[in-house]
Amino acid sequence: MRADRLLQIILLLQRHERLSARDLAERLEVSTRTVMRDMEALSAAGVPVYSERGRNGGCVLLPGYRADVSELTPREAQALFAWSGRAALSEELGLQDAVHSAMGKLSATLPVELQGDADALSGAIVVDRRRWFAEAEDTGALPVLRQAVVKRRRVRLRYASASEGVQRRTVDPWGLVEQAGRWYLVAAHRGAARMYRVSRVEDADILEELADRPDGLDVRAEWDRLRSGLERQMPLGVDVLVRVRRERVEMVRRIATPMLAKGEVARDIPSDDDWPHLRMHFRVREAACGVLLGFAGDVEVLEPADIRARMLELAEAAVATYR
């Protein structure tokens, strides 16, 4: 809608001293001619914008002008207040007080008819990012890492690597990713992009040195590349047929489902056995063994044979440990 685009132009010009019509056109995905028509419309509506020609020219908004958020639509207002309900996320980032303060200021500027629905939705949405039967992640280092990312400063980490033990590393922070309740730092170490699980950061010190950040860096694209690389390194998934004690079937479904391949569910398989049979496709072979072994004698793997053998190996090792 044109009204949305006009507001975006104002917000972009508030953030930058000036932008060329071409820059605005690329950001808004319209033509430069459309941008110039929008600038004329804004000026005619009393918004203090103007265009300067020449090599260093561009589109400019007079300093001190602020857009009136009272023009928010009901849906936009609800979206903002619903997002602010993610208290755990802002708290982990060390921004909970700032979010409450900002939303209070925004609420004060909203028309009365929008405040009721926005407040109602905010109070009705609860986001629980914790995994079932899992302890909460330790994100104590997150506020420091957030500050390093924003200030673009290098960070010295004391990091407990799962494969290399506790090490000290100086990294160039690029961004932070929250993935299913777990936080990761995307950063470069000795020029190579890496992901660091925040819960394994035992200590973080911001340095005075500027971080080395590539021009035009797309953190989301970099995260997707790192994640894809990690998933390719993981062992291939496995299709498993099991028999389950009848009273444990629903619990097996509930606990196993998060470990199954995307879009997969535990499928019922007809059998002459007194115990129901389920077929499940796990993303990772070792995960299949770990989950199913936890049910002890209430679940038996029927196939494949190598998973049966691995289950026996793990069970014998557990018996030897605890005997």
> What was the pLDDT predicted at 245?
94
The residues near 21 (Cβ < 8 Å, ≥ 6 apart) are 32, 35, 36, 39, 51, 58, 59
Whether the CB-CB separation of 60 and 51 falls below 8 Å is answered with: yes
Indicate the domain borders of the chain. 2-61, 69-124, 142-233, 238-322
Task: Name the CATH topology of 238-322.
Answer: Alpha-Beta Plaits (3.30.70)
> What was the pLDDT predicted at 29?
83
Listed as ranges, residues in the chain with pLDDT below 70 are 1-4, 54-56, 66-72, 77, 79-88, 100-115, 118, 121-123, 131-134, 234-235
> What was the pLDDT predicted at 273?
86
Q: Do domains 2-61 and 142-233 have the same CATH topology?
A: no
Supply 139's token pair: 């994100």
CATH 2.30.30 fits 142-233, yes or no: yes
> What was the pLDDT predicted at 113?
65
> What was the pLDDT predicted at 105?
62
> What was the pLDDT predicted at 3?
64
> What was the pLDDT predicted at 46?
81
CATH 3.30.365.10 fits 2-61, yes or no: no
Task: For residues 156 and 171, give the distance between their C-alpha atoms in angstroms, rounded to a whole number.
Answer: 6
